[in-house]
Amino acid sequence: MFEIVKRNTKIDFMGYTKFYFIFSGILILGTIALFFAKGFNYGVDFSGGTVVQVRFSNPPSVDQMRTVLDKSIAGQVSIQNFGETTDFLIKVENTDEALQVVSDKIQTILITSFEESGTVEIQRVEQVGPQVGKQLKQQAVFAVIYAIIGILLYVAFRFEFLYAFGSIIALVHDIVLTIGLIIITNTTFDLTVLAAILTVIGYSLNDKIVIFDRIREKHKLIKGESLRDVMNLSLNETLSRTLLTSVSTLIAVLALYLFGGEVIRGFALVMFVGVIIGTYSSIGISSATVCKLRDIFPAKEVSKKDAKKSS
């Protein structure tokens, strides 16, 4: 069987707990600052409005398009290159006009203004009302909250509440840092990106469950060892599996990013970085959190099964 890491590694993962917490704490604080300073670049799914994707055979400059559209469109117009240099994405927000009217105006203005210099092809048109966008925002937040609550209950039932709490801390860590990536790269936050975040949560949880299973198994087999030593042993034994799974997933996601087209690129980017963050938190944050909490609350960490064995 192929292994990225050789067997019998003896890395003291729990010896770096301070580094994990300080490093991740700095990144989380930076993400919070970015969120309040810059915020999300919401897609039409959440902000409401009209999005038109257009392709030119001889593309004009963004300034030329903006000048033409600002004269006739009442609302906030944003224009960005979309993949190829000939493709553009035009988004209109904060307008009192009917969405269909705005869409028809954009198509008419672009064709009449730039058709003489080459063909103008409308690739797609998307429209979402502001009220629908607001509802989708709320549903997106609830989707993440419900996922976290479900995970908390599942892990608490399967293991102990201490492990469930460690998993939730690590998953919140993953979500926050993934959000930081979305803000830094100015990735459009739409339903596709939300799906990527939920996928990252599921992937990251799977890694943590595997590691916690090994910790529980070793804790039963090895008597007299501290939790820190059991965790180090378990992390070393699962390290090859963790890295191999992550690398294979990253290769698939990278292929999506490079060849999947502009529509799926945001999903692939969030997944790529989210897998890396989730792998790091599985090795460091979740286990380190459980270990530290057990040091703080030693009396609450003994399970009923362990109590029966000791008696």
User: What is the full DSSP assignment across 76-118?
Assistant: EEEEEEESEEEEEEEEEES--S-HHHHHHHHHHHHHHHHGGGS
- Looking at every residue in the chain, the average pLDDT score rounds to 80
CB atoms within 10 A of CB 36: 7
Q: Which residue stretches of the chain have pLDDT < 70?
A: 1-7, 75, 94-99, 129-133, 224, 298-311
3-state secondary structure of 49: strand
Residue ranges, comma separated, of all CATH 3.30.70.100 domains in the chain are: 49-128
- What pLDDT is stored for residue 274 in this prediction? 92
Check if the beta carbon of residue 102 is closer than 8 Å to that of residue 76. no
Retrieve residue 130's tokens: 């502001």
Task: Report domain 13-42+133-305's class.
Answer: mainly alpha
148-179 residue pLDDT tens:
888 778 777 777 777 888 888 888 899 999 99
Check if the beta carbon of residue 107 is closer than 8 Å to that of residue 124. no
**CATH number corresponding to 49-128:** 3.30.70.100
192 φ/ψ angles, rounded to the nearest 5 degrees: -65, -45
89-103 residue pLDDT tens:
888 776 666 667 777
Looking at the whole model, is its pTM more than 0.85? Answer: no
Residue ranges, comma separated, of all CATH 1.20.1640.10 domains in the chain are: 13-42+133-305
User: How much of the chain exceeds pLDDT 70, in percent?
Assistant: 88
